[in-house]
Amino acid sequence: MTQYKPSGIFATLYMKLVIVESPTKAKTISRFLGKEYKIMASIGHIRDLPKSKIGVDIEHNFAPQYVVSPDHKAKVKEIKEAAKKAKEIYYATDEDREGEAISWHLTQILEQDPEKVKRITFHEITKQAILNALEKPKQLDMKLVEAQQARRILDRLVGYELSPFLWRHVKRGLSAGRVQSVAVRLIVERENEIKNFNSEEYWSIEGIFGTKDKNILEAKLQSISQKALDKMDIKNQEEADKILNECKKQAWKVSAIEQKRKSKQPPAPFTTSSLQQEANNRLSFSAKQTMTLAQKLYEGLEIGSEGQIGLITYMRTDSVNLAENFLQEAKNYIGREFGDKYTLDKPRTYKTKSKGAQEAHEAIRPTDPARTPDSLKGFLDNGLLKLYTLIWQRAVATQMPEAILNATRVDIGGGEYIFRATGQQVVEPGYLKLYPDQDKDKLLPELSENDALEAQDIKGVQHFTEPPARYSDATLVKALEEEGIGRPSTYASIISTVIDRGYVERDDKKRLQPLPIAFDVTELLMKRFPDIVDLEFTARLESSLDHVAEGTIRWEPLMQAFYGPFHKQLEIQEQAMTKESEKEAEGEVCTECGQPMSVKRGRFGRFLACTGYPECKSTRPLKGEAPPPQPEPTDEKCPKCGAPMVKKTGRFGPFLACSRYPDCKSIVNIEKPVKDQNGNPIPCPDCKQGTINERKSKKGKLFYSCSRYPDCKQAYWDRPNGEPCPKCGYATLLRKGKTMYCPQEDCKYKAAIELE
C-alpha cells in the first residue's frame, strides 16, 4: 500500500520541527535534513529566574518561579506557531545539563509532557550523527534538568542574599557568588603569597669544558665529596668563591657516562579543561576566547563547496574517549600521510582522571581527521585556524607511536667536585612528528670515560628565589579542576565573571591580578562566611550536584541542607556587624551640630558621618582607618587655564582635575581602553584610527566611545566584543554578557553566548 504524502498547504501540517539553541547550529543542521524538517533556534534559555526578585519560593520546597525574558517573547511566539503545524517535535539542544534544561523549558512553554517528548543528542554536527540521533530519539533526562535547576537556585540564593550584605557593609554594587567568591579567594591568596614572599640568595657553579676535538660541554656542579648539592646549598658569593678557587686547581676528565632510552607517550585528547590550559599556554588564548572559538568550530562554519559543517565534536566534556570510527579514520589518515610505521596495531585509549567527571561521551576531536588544518586555511580566520590545528594535531597524535628519546648524562670529575651535563636526542619521533612539544634536542659531543677535558670557564652565578607567579587562565583552570570547584562548562565564565565584576584585572603579562576590593571582600567572607569560600565545602557541594544528576539524591533536600545554615549565618553576621559599627561610633558626636555619629563605608573605606544627614553633612575619618588618598600630581596641563592637573578619585572612579580648584573647576576623564580576549585594545569600527574606551555618563552609566572624540563620535551603550559579525563583518557588541549581536540595522545578527 502506497503511503499518502501530503503536498502544498497540507504539507506544513505534517512538518517535523527540530529545536536547537543556536542559529548557527540550526543553519548547519538544516543542510542535512529534507524539506519536511523545520529547524528553529531558541537563542539559548527562553526562561529563567526573574531579575527583579529572588524568584525562588523558599517556603515551598524552593520552587523556582520562571519567567520568559522580554528578549525572548517574540521567539516564544514564533516557536509556538511552528509547533502548532508540526506533527513531530524534536529537541536537539546540547547534550549536557544546560542543554537538557533548555529542552525542558521548551516543553513547558509548548505544554508537552516531558516523558513523551522526543529528545535527540549528538556529539558532533555531521549528517550521519544527526540521522542516527533522529532514528533513536529518547526521553528527557529529568535528573540532568534537576541538577541544572539546583545549581541555578543555589547560585541565586547566594547572590541575592549575600550581595546586599556586601552592599551594606563593604561597597554598594558588589556581587558575591557561590563559585566566583572561591575563585577570587584563590587569586587573592596567591597575591598575598607573592607580597609576603621573602627572596633568598643562592648561587650555582657553572662550567664550560672543552674536549680534545674542540667541542664544548656545558655543565653544572652536581656534588662535592659525593654529597649531592641542593639548590640552596651555596648561599652567598663568599661560599661560591671558595669553591671556584678549589676548582681552578683541579684537572678534569669524564668520570661517568650514562645513556638511557626512554619512551614518551602522546598526551590524552582534549577535554574542556585541558583545551583551555593548552590554548592558553601555546596560543595565549583566554579561557573565554577558547570556548567562544570552540563553539563556532562545533556549531559549523562555511567551508567552500562543502557548505556549513561542524568541524569539531562537542567542546564541553571531561571524557578522553574517542569514537571507534574516528580511531579507524585517524589510522587510515596516518598510514597515508606518514606510512605504516606511524600507525598502531591496536588503538590507544585513555582514562579520565578529573574529579567528578560528568555527562561525558567523548573527547574534543575533529569530526573528520582527513580535514587537515591546511585544507581549511582559506576558510577560517587566524584564531579559529589556530585552535582547530591544536585540536586536530592532539587528537590524531594520540593514535601514533610513542616517541623514543636518548637521554645522556655525563659526569665530569675533578677531585671531590663533580659537574654534570645532560642531553636529549629524539631517536624515533613517533607522535612528535605531528604534535611537537616545547622540549628541544640538546646534543652532547661523543665522549668516552676518562677522556681529558679542559676547563675553559668556571664561574659562580647568583640567583634569587622567586615568588609563585600570578594565576594565568591555564593555571587557575587547573587549580579549580584539581580542587573540584566548578565543572567544564563553568571555568571560562568564572574567570570572565570575576573580571567583569571588578574583582580582578589582567596585568601586562595577561595574568590575573586582584584589585583592592577583592582583598576586602575575601577577608570579610572568610571571617563571616567561611563555608562560602571554603574549597572543600564548595567541592562537596559540586559533588552533591553530580549526585543529583546521577539520581542518587533529590535536589530539594540539598537546597534545605545548604540554605538553612546559610540564611541563619547571614542573620547572625548582619546583627554582629551592626553592633560592631554601633560600638565603634559610641560616644562620637558631630563637631558641627552635636548629633551622634554613625559608621559608614565609602569608596575609601569606613568613616564617621553625622546622623543628621542631609541637613548636616559633616564627616571625619574613623580611628584606625586610612585617610582618603590625596590628589596625585601629573604632567597633564589644564585645558582651560594651563595649570597642572592632579589625579583624584570620585564616585565613578579616577579622573583629572585642575589643581586650582575651586577657582578652576575643569575636569578630564581618564580613559580606560576596552580590550579583546587577547588583552589588545579594540579598534574603532567607524574611523579605524582610534580605539574604543570605557566611559561614564553624567548619571554614572557606562558607555563606550572612540578615543578620537570629538573628531569621531562613534559610541555604544553595550560593550564592544572584539569579534567581527559572521554575517557582515562589522564589530559585534555584547549585551549583558549573554548575547552577541551586530549593531548594523540591516544585519540584525544575534547569537547567545552559552558559557555557564
Residues that are catalytic: 314
| Residue (of 495, 499, 497) closest to 480 by Cα position | 495
The grid coordinates of residue 460 equal 659562580
For residues 363 and 347, what is the distance between their CA atoms, to the nearest angstrom? 15
How far apart are the C-alpha atoms of 514 and 649, rounded to whole Å? Answer: 19
Helical H runs in 551-631?
555-585
Q: How many CA atoms lie within 13 A of 729 on its CB side?
A: 2
150: helix, strand or coil: helix
Find how far residue 394's CA is from the centre of its chain: 20
Give burial (CB, 10 Å; 0-12/13-18/19+) of 638. Answer: buried
CA distance 17 to 28: 15
| 236: CB partners within 8 A, 6+ apart | 201, 203
Q: Find, among 247, 260, 240, the residue nearest to 413 by Cα.
A: 247
Percentage helix, strand, coil for the chain under 3-state DSSP, each rounded to 5: 35, 25, 40
Pairing of strands 653-658, 644-650: antiparallel
Grid cell 533556534 is found at: 41
Q: Angle, nearest 10°, between helix axes 516-528 and 555-585? A: 110
Does the N-terminal peptide bond of residue 445 adopt cis geometry, omega within 30 degrees of 0?
Answer: no
Beta bridge partners of 424: 407, 442
**Grid cell of 589 as nine digits:** 558626636
Would you state the cell numbers that stand for residue 248, as one nine-digit string?
A: 681552578
Give the integer Cα–Cα distance in Å for 187 and 506. 12
Say how far apart CA 703 and CA 49 lie, in whole Å: 27
Q: Cα separation of 8 and 14, whole Å?
A: 11
**What are the distances in angstroms from CA 657 to CA 364, 666, 695, 698, 703?**
53, 6, 16, 16, 21
d(CA 78, CA 83) in angstroms, rounded, equals: 9
> 735 pairs with which residues across the strands?
739
